[in-house]
Structure 1
Amino acid sequence: MKNAYKMIDFLIDDSDDEKVVNFVKSLTEEEVKGEASSSRVPRTRVYIPRYREEAAVRLYNDYFSETPVHPEKKFKRRFRMSRELFLRIIEVYLRKPTADDIARLYNFHAQKHGLPGQYTRGDQKGPSIMLEAVASQDLWIWHAFFGMAGANNNINALNYSPVFNTIKEGTAPPSPFNVNGHHYERGYYLCDGIYPDWAMLVKAPHNSIDEPRKKFKRFQESARKDIERAFGVLQGRFAMLKTPARSMDFNKIRRHMYMCCIT
């Protein structure tokens, strides 16, 4: 408003056009300077340091030292705890952790979230988990079951595995084929001699005396190596499967394994 009055007074005066233009420019520059000077300065975030060790020392000096700053009555009134309990807290927690403390923490975490003792086998250095998988010649993993403790064998894993659930429920996809004049509606799985004698499991004969049996055993064992090749490709593609698991959470390890099988 002040500049507006100046402008009116200047126009009333008999001045030439050049003076008017210069006067308007001066007013514009004053407005720009005023806006620049009145702009808000951005506030910066204040960093508040927290020194836990120093706070623990101060807490000890205030209440638990030989010459405490605050009397015992004030301490009890503030914390509503006995002096002996807080002295034990100071002794156990408010100190630097030792190697025994870290080992106890890892053991407690393993018992609650990690792998219990039954996952450890005698021939393994640490806990291990079994992976049951069904793979075809093109390295396609059709079925994966991960989660059995490494101390179990293939029979125990098969009893808990859902590999035959679709066959029991009648929801398995049809896969008919003919062998030696016999028609079969469902597929079959190649396995070794440890598995039970089920109709959908094809094992190599124990005593291969005649040439046809020897040939069948040779082809069956050769085709059964497709699953071993699939395991080798998994380990070669994902380095995390060749090294011990970094995570101690069982569900996270299982999700990582299924992710590797899918991709």
Structure 2
Amino acid sequence: MNSDSNSSSSSNSGLFDYMVNNYVEWHESITQRRKEDELIEEAINIAVVPFVTSPYQVPFTLEPTYQRWYVPRDREYADIQLYNDYFSPQPLSDATGRLGASTLQKCTAAIQMLAYGTSADAVDEYLKIALSTAREGLAHFVEGVVAQFGPEYLRRASTMDTEQLLRESYVRGFPGMMGNIDCMHWEWKNFPRAWKGMYQGRSKTTTVILEAVASQDLWIWHAFFGTPGSCNDINVLQRSPVFSDICEGKAPEVTFNVNGNTYNMGYYLTDGIYPKWATFIPAIKHPQTGKHKLFTKKQESYRKDVERAFGVLQARFAIIRQPSLAWSTEILWKIVMACIIMHNMIVEDERDGHLHYDAIEFINDQPQNLAGSPTGNNNQPFTVRSGRLDRLNLNVYMENRNNVRDRETHIALKNDLVEHIWERFGNE
């Protein structure tokens, strides 16, 4: 009995101790947590509350804002400087009220890029025009030049133009010569990579070909641009419309005498790659006799007119001399045509300085040879008539085409020219 009572009292005391210990631990944890809360509240009161209650307020934004980066350009000062140097512009205001780039600034940038071959961002230093503005201005400038002045300065030779060409060629010893034909390559740097095989020629560079006909005064009468650089002069000729007016009967009809024989079609001086057509007269490859050597000397001398025209064109417009940075053949074509138009403008303005003879004396010596002219006679060196536009049918077209490609006429005309030049210049 005593043992049972002792075990019961010991178990009760153990349970009591366990409950007391749990209470003590709980109380200590609560006390520690209160102390931590008091420390946190004290830290907030010291550090945060004075900053919040101060007059300085931190701006609150939902998301960060970024200011757009731009290059400050003083367009107003550049326009005034351009006015003081050259022009009198009337610039327009943009949407913000600032004066935008004037028309003269854009045209000056385009001409500077054409003449000096500079990149679009190089004009920013003086004209204060961005790269995109200069590039768009160049595209609009060349397009406007071609549209406005192309019909006049890219025209085919009219009746009066043909007479002038025949007078010059008669004085030089080549009756019936209409000029010189040749091709020039313009390197294309920013070409599409998929087109490299088509535009890469034997020079291992991608180029675009320009075919041109030039006269003694360096006027370019025919320009055909856009053929890939992998083609040669013969491939370009097959695509070129240089003889389309003759085949269609639109070109002026030319008749001239050489060595007692009459021919009814003008011709061009060429190099050795061109085919033996009635409209092409190349030099003799290996001249042996004195006649052939003299003919080759004269032919090679006069054939350099088109080479000089290419050289002058590249000297005046360095953009053609340097690799092109454009991305499409369309803008390349517009640039080339605009340069040729402005080149012909300069030739027209300076044409009298290129003549090596007095045209008035020659005209008095040889009266004009128009059909129906009251002073015309059968002994005149050439005759020019207007083309007949009513002869547009397939039979006539094929007949004219065959006459252009006639090999026998080519051989006969070349032999007559050899005799004519020997008779005229053989005693020199």
* Band of TM-score, shorter chain: 0.5 to 0.7
Partner residue of 1:165 out of 244, 256, 271: 244
2:254 aligned with 1:186? no
**Aligned ranges 1:59-208 → 2 under 5 Å:** 110-111=191-192, 116-124=196-204, 126-208=205-287
Shift of 1:111: 4.1
Distance in 2 separating the partners of 1:258 and 1:171: 23
Whole-angstrom CA distance in 2 between matches of 1:110 and 1:210: 49
- Return the structure number with greater relative CO, CA threshold 8 A, min gap 6: 2
Aligned to 2:340: 261
1:185/1:122 CA distance change after superposition, 3 Å? closer
Following TM superposition, the consecutive aligned residue runs of length 4 or more in structure 1 with deviations greater than 6 angstroms are 48-51
- Counting aligned pairs with the same residue, the percent is 46
Report if aligned partners of 1:115, 1:249 keep a CA contact under 8 Å in 2. no
Asked if residue 210 in structure 1 is aligned to residue 289 in structure 2, the reply is yes
Residues 175 and 187 in structure 1, CA contact (< 8 A), matched pair in contact too: yes
SS at match of 1:146: strand
Q: CA deviation at 1:185?
A: 2.4
Query: 3-state SS of the aligned residue for 1:232?
Result: helix
2:224 counterpart letter in structure 1: F
Cα displacement (A) at 1:193: 1.5
After superposition, what is the alpha-carbon deviation per residue over 1:170-197, rounded to whole angstroms, capped at 9, x for unaligned? 1112333221112222210111111111
Counterpart AA for 2:197: G
Q: Which residue pairs with 1:60 in the alignment?
A: none
Alpha-carbon displacement from aligned partner over 1:109-152 (angstroms, at most 9, x marks no partner):
9549x95531012424x411011111011101111111111111
3-state DSSP of counterpart to 1:247: coil
Q: Which amino acid aligns with 1:239?
A: A
Question: Does structure 2 conserve the Cα–Cα contact (< 8 Å) formed by 1:188 and 1:200?
Answer: yes
Counterpart amino acid of residue 247 in structure 2: K
| Structure-2 separation of matches of 1:254 and 1:182 | 42
Matched, 1:244 2:323: yes
Deviation at 1:236, TM superposition (A): 0.3
Deviation at 1:230, TM superposition (A): 0.3
- Unpaired stretches in structure 2, ≥5 consecutive residues: 1-64, 69-189, 343-428
Separation in structure 2 between the aligned mates of residue 222 and residue 115 of structure 1, nearest angstrom: 38
The 1-side partners of 2:288 and 2:263 are apart by 27
Gap change, CA 1:122 and 1:209, over 3 Å in 2: closer
Cα pair 1:121 1:151 within 8 Å, conserved: yes
User: Taking structure 2 as the reference length, what is the TM-score of the superposition?
Assistant: 0.35
TM-score if structure 1 supplies the norm length?
Answer: 0.55
Partner of 2:101: none
Number of residue equivalences: 158
- Corresponding residue for 1:98? none
Q: 1:219 aligns with which of 298, 316, 332?
A: 298
